[in-house]
A and B are shown apart, each in its own frame.
Chain A
């Protein structure tokens, strides 16, 4: 039997998620914001994999989903960086404070 309880994995995922969230909402650098979002996705992946093993109905599905998630995250990073670069070209800055087009 496992000596590490489910809740420990979940707690780890929670901590990472919170760190990612905090980073995503406070960091000024857009690159760091993007990477913080990756961290949040990773935390979610941990949950998926954990439940795939220790869930009420363990199966491979969780891992498959994590895989999908990683794939989508990779795509997202690609697009995100593309936007970042185009933004930088327009504004000469990656400071997220200066991105406030929503206001106008």
Chain B
């Protein structure tokens, strides 16, 4: 392994991503947690750039760091939060149990990947990345693409229905 710029970039991005994740786990205020995760999402976008996926990096920043985070913040704001954000007591046994499980899982997977290395094949992903994606998406993956739109539509309708029906109920009650 040579000390190249790419390596430094990866290391710093990865560090920021992981710190963001750890902060998510350890911060007490919900808003802070979401903000911590923004760092992670942005670093992941950086990782995408390193992996020659510029288009995806942009999408990542737009959707995650932008849209989803904003939505989450709205969700938090729409739901009232009592002052105490402290974790309720109890469940430590389960946490420990889970921690062991997670670490075991991580170890098991890491055991599988730690010396995984493929023969690097020269590729052209970085050239006209967006164009490549577009061609692929609209030729080969046209049907999944259309289906995705259906899903998004369904989600849209579903979200509205979920919210509205409750409104009606509340209205009935009032």
Contacts and interface: CB of A to CB of B under 8 A. Distances in A.
Contact of A70 (B59, B76, B106, B163): B59
A32 B33 contact: yes
B: interface residue count bin: 35 or more
Given A52-B53, A84-B79, A86-B162, A38 B133 contact: no
Report whether over half of chain A's contact residues are helix, strand or loop; otherwise say mixed.
helix
Nearest to A92: B80
Interface string A78-99: 1101111110111010110100
Nearest to A56: B118
A: interface residue count bin: 35 or more
Query: Max chain B CB contacts within 10 Å: which of A79, A82, A95?
Result: A82
Contacts, number: 232
Contacts of A15: 18, 21, 106
A14 B103 CA distance: 11
A11 B41 CA distance: 17
Interface string A1-36: 111111111111011101111110110110110111
Interface string B71-91: 110111011110001011001
Nearest to B9: A4
Query: Max chain A CB contacts within 10 Å: which of B87, B103, B144, B155?
Result: B155
